[in-house]
Amino acid sequence: MGTRSSMLQEEEISEIQRETGFSSNQIVRLYSRFTNLDKSDQGFLRRADFLRIPELAINPLGDRIVHAFFQESATDTVNFRQFMRVLARFRPVKKTATKNKLNDREEKLKFAFKMYDLDGDNMISRDELLNVLHMMVGANISDDQLGSIADRTISEVDLDKDENISFEEFVKAMERVDVEQKMSIRFLN
| CA gap 62, 34 in Å, rounded | 17
154-185 pLDDT, tens digit per residue, is 999 999 999 999 999 999 999 999 988 888 77
The CATH class, in words, for 10-88 is mainly alpha
Q: Please give the pLDDT value at position 103.
A: 80
User: How crowded is the C-beta side of 74, counted as CA atoms within 13 Å?
Assistant: 0
Q: Please give the pLDDT value at position 145.
A: 95
User: What is the rounded average pLDDT of the residues 137-165?
Assistant: 94
What CATH topology corresponds to 102-179? Recoverin; domain 1 (1.10.238)
| CA gap 164, 147 in Å, rounded | 15
User: How crowded is the C-beta side of 132, counted as CA atoms within 13 Å?
Assistant: 19
**pTM of the model as a whole:** 0.80
Could you count the other beta carbons within 10 Å of the beta carbon of residue 7?
Answer: 12
| CA gap 22, 66 in Å, rounded | 21
Phi, psi of 146 (to 5 degrees): -65, -40
For residue 16, with 0-12 CB atoms within 10 Å meaning exposed, 13-18 middle and 19 or more buried, which class applies? buried
Helix axes 24-37, 10-20, angle to 10 degrees: 100
| CA gap 61, 125 in Å, rounded | 18
For the chain, residues classed under CATH 1.10.238.10 are 10-88, 102-179
Q: Please give the pLDDT value at position 167.
A: 98
